[in-house]
Amino acid sequence: MNPYEVLGVREGASEAEIKAAYKELAKKYHPDKYVDNPLSDLAEQKMQEINTAYDMLMKSDTGSGGNYGSQSGAARSDFMQVRRDIDMGNLSAAETALDNSSNRNAEWFFLKGVIASRKGWYDEAVNDLQTAVNMDPSNQEFRRHYAAIAGRGGAFRNQAQGRGYVQGGGDDMCCRALQCYICADCCCDCI
């Protein structure tokens, strides 16, 4: 099997071209699209071929491995499917695979952080990415993602404060009065 032919790219294609071809084919042949369809077995077989071809090219000298930068061979093989699931937007499958994994290394925390950031869970993403960076401080991929997420959080805080939302509630008397009113209404039916 020629992995370039399977993915429909020319030999020596760039990593970006390989990834783009893989994503396009994965969307086309994903088994979820063929549920209760007589072609489901064929689609599953085709998807396996696509995954094998992609793995071969990403593990070779031409590719550097996965959408999140190069990793050591051992780390790549442990979490390759999780990375693929994240790339395809299948966060629940990626999260389930991570939760079932006993290998809680730096990449595990990194991938948990990526999933949390995709879900919009900023605090959890920052914590997981920071743990990954602390466990493997020389990994530029982890550091880059952590810096990007941490930077976004600062921007959100600044934007919120610019609109009058102050961390800790501030001293707005109207807001405090409204809070007291709501609390009183919840505690008794006198209002």
At residue 112, the pLDDT reads 93
What is the model's pTM? 0.47
User: Which of 5-19, 93-107, 134-148 has the lowest average pLDDT?
Assistant: 134-148
pLDDT bucket at 75, cuts 50 / 70 / 90: very low
What letter does residue 9 receive in the DSSP assignment?
-
Is 70's pLDDT higher than 80?
A: no
First to last CA, the chain: 75
User: Which of 2-11, 104-113, 165-174 has the lowest average pLDDT?
Assistant: 165-174
Whole-angstrom distance, CA of residue 92 vs CA of residue 14: 30
At residue 19, the pLDDT reads 92
* Secondary structure element (H or E) that encloses residue 13, with its range: none
Report, as an integer, the average pLDDT of 160-187. Answer: 64
Is 24's pLDDT higher than 90?
A: yes
